[in-house]
């Protein structure tokens, strides 16, 4: 933890420091009627 460093990206000629790295990917299968509720629960956690 904390050993990974970010990296720099160049977008439209400007250089940006990206200090976060993706750590997890969540895949969830839910019925069409539950999509909004599932997204809300995940994003509010």
The reply to whether the predicted model has a pTM over 0.85 is no
| Rounded average pLDDT over 6-15 | 84
Nearest to 18 by CA among 1, 5, 31, 35: 5
26: confidence class by pLDDT, cuts 50, 70, 90: confident
How far is the C-alpha of 13 from the C-alpha of 9, rounded, in Å?
10
């Amino acid at each position: 933890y904390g050993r990974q460093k970010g990296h720099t990206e160049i977008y439209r000629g400007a250089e940006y420091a990206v200090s976060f790295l993706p750590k997890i990917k969540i895949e969830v299968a839910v019925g069409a009627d539950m999509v909004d509720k599932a997204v809300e629960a995940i994003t509010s956690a």
